[in-house]
Amino acid sequence: MKLARYGPRNAPKTPCILDQDDAPRNASSLVDDFGPNSLSPDLITKLQSVDPMTLPLMDVSDMRLAPPISQPKNIWCIGLNYSDHAAEAGMDIPQEPILFNKSSGTFCGPNDDILFSPKMTKLDWEVELGIVIGKPALNISKSEAMDHVAGFVLVNDLSERAWQLERSGQWVKGKSFPNFCPTGPFLITPDAVGDVQSLGMWLDVNGQRMQTGNTGTMIFDVETIVSYMSEFTRLEPGDLICTGTPPGVGAGMDPQTWLQVGDQVSLGIDGLGEQSQTVVAL
């Protein structure tokens, strides 16, 4: 099952189930919205029991595609989680997942603009698999992890590398500018995604392929990440976990390459859809 939402910023969104042709069907008769206040195993079961073709077809030709869930309480990230990306960065394989936060204010739609501040000098891209939590998780085992996952999303974990790596403090500083977390186009439930540890990934800048990877090279898989994080914090419904990126980021190139105003970024993951953004000046 695929879930999507449509509507302008700072206004109510229309929750949709995508039918067999990926056409959006209005699900507002079943739930007010998809997000922290509604996501649960019971909701997923309820939505899966409905034939999307019985729901009203929506004309979304002039509507903004919103993130597939409403504002999460927490956005978590896993750093250096692809073996080929670690090699690109010249860094050792982590012995445990590297955890950091991204401000929830970064959350935006999959095709919303990337905002460029005049104080930025090293704006970088990262195609990532996102995990959306659907059931509270605290001190759970790996075998229990998938019971707490509502689904998966495509994420662009944008980073200002100078702020992240060259200014004192934590990585969160370079990860938390508004619109630094385009999410969507839809959430896909685990039963529909197939093998989540074998998904092709890609990202283009101005039509040039920059990143090509596969979730199969993740150092810590989805079950490990969810279980591990639950040792240190209570994961809540709607929480988004960005799980790391494959090689091909601007910081890893020779010479290093950074996003500029006017650049076009496109990215995708097998089964999770595609995104497209334009870098715009504030």
CATH code, domain with 208: 3.90.850.10
Average pLDDT over residues 217-232: 98
* Token pair recorded at residue 260: 């500029």
pLDDT of residue 152: 98
* Domain presence at residue 176: yes
For residue 56, give every residue at least 6 positions away whose Cβ sits within 8 Å of its Cβ, in sequence order, or none. Answer: 25, 26
Residue 39 confidence (pLDDT)? 98
Tens of pLDDT along 123-176? 999 999 999 999 999 999 999 999 999 999 999 999 999 999 999 888 899 999
The number of residues in the chain equals: 282
* Summary mean pLDDT of the chain: 96
Cis peptide before 255 (omega within 30 of 0): yes
| Structural domain count, the chain | 1
Residue 41 falls inside a structural domain: no
What is the mean predicted confidence (pLDDT) over 224-243?
A: 98
Tell me the mean pLDDT in the region 223-238: 98
pLDDT at 54 (0 to 100): 98
Spatial neighbors of 179 by CB under 8 A, at least 6 apart, are 106, 108, 112, 113, 114, 115, 158
The pLDDT of residue 89:
76
Q: What percent of the chain has pLDDT over 70?
A: 100
pLDDT band, very low/low/confident/very high, at 17 (cuts 50, 70, 90):
very high
Candidates 172, 156, 193, 190; CA nearest to 270 is: 193
Q: What pLDDT sits at residue 92? A: 84
Domain-embedded: residue 125: yes
Q: Tens digit of pLDDT for each residue in 166-222? A: 998 888 999 999 999 999 999 999 999 999 999 999 999 999 999 999 999 999 999
Residue 166 is assigned to a structural domain of this protein: yes
Q: Decide if 234 is inside a domain.
A: yes
152: β partners: 131, 188
CA distances from 154 to 5, 130, 190 (A): 14, 6, 14
16 is a domain residue: no
Average pLDDT over residues 9-17: 95
Quote the pLDDT of residue 87: 80
Per the domain annotation, does 151 fall within a domain? Answer: yes
Tokens at 109, concatenated: 């739609």
Quick check: is 46 in a domain? no
Domain that holds residue 119: 67-281
Each residue's pLDDT tens digit, 76-104? 999 999 988 878 777 788 999 999 999 99
The pLDDT-based confidence of 264 (bands split at 50, 70, 90) is very high
